[in-house]
Amino acid sequence: MLIVAALAAAGVALRLALARQSLFADELSTHWIVAGRGLGDVISVVHTDAEITPPLFFVASWLTTRIDLAPELLRAPSLLAGAATIPLVYLLGARTVGRRAALVTAALTTCSPFMAYYAAEARGYALMVALVLGSTLCMLAAVDRGGARWWIAYAACACAAVYTHYTAVFALAGQLGWLLWAHPEARRPALAASAGAAVAFLPWLSGLQGDLESPTTDILSALQPFTPTYVRTSVAHWAIGFPYATAGTAVADLPGVPALAALALALALAAAGIARRLRTLRRPDRDLALVIVLAASVPVGTAIASALGSNLFGTRNLAASWPAFALCLAAFLLAAGPRLGLAAAALAIGAFAVGGLKLLDRDFQRPDYRGAAALVERSAAAGDVVVDGVSLSPAGVPTTIDLAFAGRLRVFPLGRDTVRYDPFRIVALAPSIEQVVARAVAAAGGRKLFLVVSPHARSTRTALAALPDRYRAVPARTYPGINRIQVIVARSDRERRVVARERRAAEEPALDREARLRHRRV
């Protein structure tokens, strides 16, 4: 257990480092929901189609942000759940595939890019994973030891998992199906506990119906169609790559070609060892079957649901099956034998560690909105204006740039309308880039314009070309990340003359003092 504790400590350190980054994408919806609201209002907002996931994570995040709305506290439920997942997956592995495979799985979980990233995100994926693991362990304890308390704990974890994210239901269905097959003697209490969990979820049925009927579901399906290419990319990123399949980062970048080569060698060694030991290997037992079912349940379940209706298949939505996938991988690697198995496991852990540590690289971090906003804050004066061309958030939700200035500076967004609607609703068509720049110039009245944009993007070139001739734009700084950010300062002729006069006025007293000193020396 000391090794597991050390792995958990290393995992917490990695996740804390990631949690200090700027809020990004759907995290801004979480911030919008919990900021400045009472607990009842949080649940009411989530109940509408302003949010299409259940309420438990938002309640937890609301509780942790009563101290402050810092990103680390907004992400605290995920951080705690992500830390707990490492020992939980070890316990599940020790019960199903053996202690050696459990240790390997705990190491893979510690440094997995997918698990580390979502354990530092202000959304419900990490909490759902921990609750599904908890329900599985309670189910196995109930089977092994009996007693109503374990069945009650199983039902509570299962219900809480679905209250965190709807895709947990696929893992829970696979888990229950395995139990009904593998342990006929436990069918009655298992069905009773599952029925209790279902009854506890009944109060949220109207929220579920609203989420299913939300136009957001159709919009997301249109943006991410259920195609073989999309499925292949999503699975690759879920298993070993960058957590966002649509971030423009391929698995050749993260974990990278050397790590992929190490992982391929690990799989080849394991396959060779298994082929050599095929006659002596034990047949898969019921416990290994549980792990296989859990690993396949969410990918298969979301694929079937996507084929029949709106697309649910996606990198993030596969989260509940990742620990079981890692357990299957560890069992496969160690099945090669004492020597080849350990060598294969070491190569695989190394490959995942490279990917996990790469998340800390500047080019793989979340966009540094806070850094860009801080630069503007230091350089801006009253009346200056910001043109925001980089923020990514659900429609109508204040962005990190909006939050940074909190009304002190006017922000004109590119690519989205300035009218605030509820999140995820269809908003008015955004004005053209030229129109936005013209409005920003008029609002500035000759003061500075700060363009927070993506370098080399077509929208950036269009915005710069739309500036009046009296403005001169100079790049100030570029910030790395999965979406790079460039701050450009545009000053008008009037602004430059004012700055020049102020500079001369500041320099003249110093020049006069120097002249008087020279006169005294003479």
Q: In this structure, what CATH number is given to the domain that contains residue 377?
A: 3.40.50
Same domain for 218 and 311, yes or no, is: yes
What's the rounded mean pLDDT across residues 45-65?
A: 92
- The bridge status of strand 449-453 relative to strand 471-479 is unpaired
Is 97 within 8 Å of 145 (Cβ atoms)? no
Same domain for 326 and 376, yes or no, is: no
> What b/e sequence results for 215-242 when a residue is b if at least 16 CB atoms lie within 10 Å of its CB, and e otherwise?
ebbeebbeebebeeebbebbbebbbbbb
Same domain for 125 and 234, yes or no, is: yes
What's the rounded mean pLDDT across residues 238-249?
A: 84
Q: HSE, CB side, 13 Å, CA atoms: give it for residue 341.
A: 17
Higher-confidence residue: 398 or 143? 143
The pLDDT value given to residue 512: 55
| CA–CA gap between residue 7 and residue 229 (Å, rounded) | 35
DSSP 284: P
Q: Residue 425 falls within a domain, yes or no?
A: yes
The pLDDT value given to residue 1: 79
pLDDT at 365 over 70: yes
| CA–CA gap between residue 423 and residue 26 (Å, rounded) | 10
Is 43 within 8 Å of 142 (Cβ atoms)? no
Instruction: Burial-class residue 174 by CB neighbours within 10 Å (0-12, 13-18, 19+).
Output: buried
Q: What is the pLDDT of residues 186-239, one digit of tens each?
A: 999 999 999 999 999 999 999 998 888 777 777 677 667 888 999 999 999 999
Domain end, chosen from 364, 390, 416, is at 364
Contacts of 169 (CB under 8 A, 6+ apart): 162, 301
Domain end, chosen from 348, 364, 380, is at 364
Q: Residue 400 falls within a domain, yes or no?
A: yes
Token pair listed for 384: 């200056």
**What is the extent of the structural domain holding 121?**
2-364
184 membership: H or E segment, kind and range: none
Q: Residue 514 falls within a domain, yes or no?
A: no
Q: What is the pLDDT of residues 441-485, one digit of tens each?
A: 999 988 999 999 999 889 999 999 999 989 999 998 999 999 899
The pLDDT value given to residue 224: 77
Same domain for 495 and 399, yes or no, is: yes
Same domain for 348 and 408, yes or no, is: no
| CA–CA gap between residue 409 and residue 403 (Å, rounded) | 11
The pLDDT value given to residue 418: 55
Same domain for 187 and 53, yes or no, is: yes
Residue 3 burial (CB count, 10 A): 11
The pLDDT value given to residue 398: 86
Query: How many domains are there within the chain?
Result: 2
The pLDDT value given to residue 421: 46
Q: What is the pLDDT of residues 300-310, one digit of tens each?
A: 999 999 998 88
Same domain for 329 and 233, yes or no, is: yes
Is 142 within 8 Å of 151 (Cβ atoms)? yes
Same domain for 224 and 322, yes or no, is: yes
Same domain for 314 and 247, yes or no, is: yes
Token pair listed for 225: 């169609």
Q: Residue 519 falls within a domain, yes or no?
A: no
Instruction: Burial-class residue 436 by CB neighbours within 10 Å (0-12, 13-18, 19+).
Output: buried
Same domain for 58 and 190, yes or no, is: yes
- Token look-up 């701050």 returns 487
The pLDDT value given to residue 397: 81
Name the phi and psi angles at 386, rounded to 5: -115, 130
DSSP 112: -
For a pLDDT cut of 70, what percent of the chain falls above it? 90
Higher-confidence residue: 360 or 428? 360
| CA–CA gap between residue 429 and residue 415 (Å, rounded) | 9
The pLDDT value given to residue 522: 47
426 confidence band (pLDDT: 50, 70, 90): very low
pLDDT at 313 over 50: yes
